[in-house]
Structure 1
Amino acid sequence: MSNLPPITGLILAGGQSRRMGRNKALLTLDGDTLINHAIRRLYPQTDHLLISTNAELPTCPEASDIPQLADSQIDVGPLGGILTGLDWVKKHSTNEWLITVAVDTPFFPEDLASRLWQARTSEDRIIAARSGTKAHPTFALWHTSLTGVLVDFITQDNKRRLMGFIEQQPHCYVNFDDSIRNPFNNINTPEDLARLTRAKNSLE
């Protein structure tokens, strides 16, 4: 956390997992659940951690005190979780920044927070990850000043697209193209889980 301001972390684990057919946060990879993989990877990058989920999740013993937050806005996708996280930070913390990650992406960078922070300018209010030409908007730093405009966007924009909101705000992207594998490979189906398990084993 050197050279970083105090940052609150938020694991987005509130998706409906239609293609998987069950809660992705509780899928097992390498002997542990995806929610615990995310906790152990994000926790060292933050000074406080939250979980966005609409169903209570069992977590590793060392994470039993992490607040689990239900979305304040229903059926608006990850924007609902981000809004709930930003609102929590404003009410319960003096931190100005929230970093979000998706629970279904177990190999996200262990230096995600520091690399996003280093790329920001004083004007940026969102700093998001990208690999190649593909943006990964759920992996981003969000300034707490966005709460009001995010409420307005959710209320007024019928599509409620995460990328649509980002493009309307001062933002930048950070490329993560220097990894052996794409750190943002995510799990949507049982086949994806099997593929990532094989990829992990091949690197060990």
Structure 2
Amino acid sequence: MNAYFVILAGGGGSRLGHVRKAEIRLGGASLQERVANRLRIDRSAILISTGAGLSIPSAIGTALPDLDTPIGGPLAGILAAAAHLRHQASTDSVLLSVAVDTPFLPEDFASRLMEPLEHGARAAKACWRGNAYPTNAAWRLADLQDLPEQASAGTVAPSPRALLAQLGAVSVDWEATHASDPFANLNTLADLIDLSYRVQGSSD
């Protein structure tokens, strides 16, 4: 089962003064660099969702702007990746989506999320202590093939959370192996301060 990765980096950071989250630096490295490093794969195999408008060049992977559909937000990044891979990947392949603002992404992220799909699940979502992170998920490409057309027709699920529910996604929880939330993300100034302290005190 081949795996492809898309880092969802198109957020406008509205609660952070409209800065691009991907470029925020923690401990000397941008969030985008930190997430790419945690994936531990060849960066040329990574897709970067850059949001609406012109594609923003990236030193990490292939930059993908949103498609011209009514859908925005992280689901738009998943649609763009699905469209990009439509003629490049076999339908039994898996797409793993990763939020750019999760700098402590667990190193076994891909292997643990892919395991349920290898046993027949249609999708899997990352959790910690029962809290779900729907942008950190694994999807069968076969289930994403028609999403761009569905988005244009207005019939697609409105969010990653809704699409995961529609696909009956399995929850994979990291509580047993991580004392601190490995999917802690950055939405506010308080989050930025907390994650900065965590980076300073971490050996990860």
TM-score above 0.5, yes or no = yes
C-alpha distance in 1 between matches for 2:161 and 2:98: 15
Structure 1 residues 53-132: aligned runs within 5 Å: 53-54=50-51, 56-59=56-59, 63=60, 66-72=61-67, 73-94=69-90, 96-120=93-117, 122-132=119-129
Per the TM alignment, residue 76 of structure 1 is displaced from its structure 2 partner at its CA by 2.3
Write the letter of the residue equivalent to 1:191. A
Aligned runs of 1:138-149 on 2, under 5 Å? 138-148=135-145
The Cα shift of 1:152 comes to 6.1
Deviation at 1:41, TM superposition (A): 1.4
- Greater Cα offset, 102-111 or 184-193: 184-193
* Counterpart residue type for residue 165 of structure 1: L
Q: Which residue of 1 aligns with 2:164?
A: 166
Q: What CA distance in whole angstroms lies between the structure 2 residues aligned with 1:181 and 1:48?
A: 29
Partner-residue secondary structure (3-state), 2:185: coil
State the 1:151 CA deviation. 3.9
Q: CA RMSD in A?
A: 2.4
Asked whether the equivalents of residues 25 and 33 of structure 1 are also in contact (C-alpha less than 8 Å), the reply is yes
Matched, 1:17 2:16: no
CA–CA distance in structure 1, aligned partners of residues 159 and 126 of structure 2: 17
Secondary structure of the residue aligned to 2:179 is coil
Q: Indicate the SS of the match to 2:103.
A: coil
Residues 117 and 140 in structure 2, CA contact (< 8 A), matched pair in contact too: no
Structure 2: gaps spanning 5 or more residues: none
Which amino acid counterpart does residue 163 of structure 1 have in structure 2? R
TM superposition shift of 1:75: 4.5
1:153 positional shift:
5.4
Instruction: Report if the CA contact (8 A) 1:45-1:113 is conserved.
Output: no
Q: Distance in 2 between matches of 1:156 and 1:74?
A: 8
TM-score, normalising length: structure 2: 0.85
Q: Kindly state the Cα deviation for residue 39 of structure 1 after the two structures are TM-superposed.
A: 1.4
How many pairs align?
195
Offset of 1:43 from its aligned partner? Answer: 4.1
1:156 is aligned with what amino acid?
A: G
Query: What runs of 5+ residues in structure 1 fail to find an aligned partner?
Result: none
Q: Could you tell me whether the CA contact under 8 Å between 1:12 and 1:53 is conserved in 2? A: yes
Structure 1 partner of 2:195:
196
Greater CA drift, 22-31 or 69-78: 69-78
Q: Secondary structure at the match of 2:16?
A: coil
Q: How far does residue 53 in structure 1 lie from its aligned partner after superposition?
A: 0.4
Tell me the secondary structure at the aligned position of residue 91 of structure 1: coil
In structure 1, the partner of 2:23 is: 26
Distance 1:117 1:39 in 2: 18
Identity among equivalent positions (%) equals 30
Structure 1 residues 32 and 135, CA gap change in structure 2 (3 angstroms): same
Q: Secondary structure at the match of 1:198?
A: helix
Cα distance between partner residues in 1 of 2:32 and 2:43: 16
Q: Offset of 1:169 from its aligned partner? A: 1.1
